[in-house]
Amino acid sequence: MRRTVAVLIVALLALTLVACGGGPADDPVTTPDIDAAAPPPPPEEEAPDLSPTEEQVYEPFPVDPEIGVPDAIQSRLDSGQPMIIVFVDDSQKTTDDQEEIIRGVTETYRGLIDVLSFNLGAYVSQDSKGTITVKPELTDDETAKQVTRLISQDYLDVRFTPFILIVDDQGYVTWRHRGISDDKTLEREVLRVTE
């Protein structure tokens, strides 16, 4: 009887193993190789820089040794007066917006910082290749020549208006911005040069 019970138990165990898939007929489980199946990542394309931010470089305000800079700028450089220099084009709506922001910020700091604005549309013209030149009717105007030279690639490289510079009392450019600046950032930069 023991043999019959033992055979019966072995038979039940064998059936249980087969039913659960534990028999020798099952294939071993393999994990897929994820690295081999994944396609290579797409090549990274360098996105064009469409941001209006300028590289912030602490450098002396550029003075052209041949023709100088406009008297309004030079007098403030000589006296150590911090200033905001704004290059605008009055034909653009953004000019009014930017000037309103500047007025709002500088109202609080009146006397601590001067604002100089140059209407590039009045001084220069640009051809289809992007070359900026003094307007023909202003070729004898000293300020027009100075402003045109100042905004050139060799000096300030103004390619977009409004363009704002903040110059400290030592004559160093502490902040540059092209496009509309917000009032909080502008106020922070004004505080940096007036405190």
Q: What would the pLDDT profile of 94-141 be if each residue is shown by its tens digit? A: 888 888 898 988 888 888 999 999 888 887 776 666 666 677 787 788
pLDDT score of 50: 47
Please report the pLDDT score of residue 72 as a whole number. 93
Determine the length of the chain. 195
Residue 194 · residue 113 · CB < 8 Å? yes
Domains with residue ranges and CATH for the chain: 59-194 (3.40.30.10)
Distance (Å) of CA 20 to CA 9, 15, 16, 171, 191: 16, 9, 6, 85, 77
pTM given for the model: 0.66
Q: Does 46 have pLDDT greater than 80?
A: no
Q: What is the mean pLDDT of residues 67-82?
A: 92
Number of C-beta neighbours around residue 25 at 10 A? 7
Q: Hey, is 7 helix, strand or coil?
A: helix
Between 25 and 109, where is the model more confident?
109
Question: Is there a cis peptide before residue 28, judged by omega within 30 degrees of 0?
Answer: no
Q: What is the pLDDT of residue 2?
A: 66
Mean pLDDT on 141-153: 82
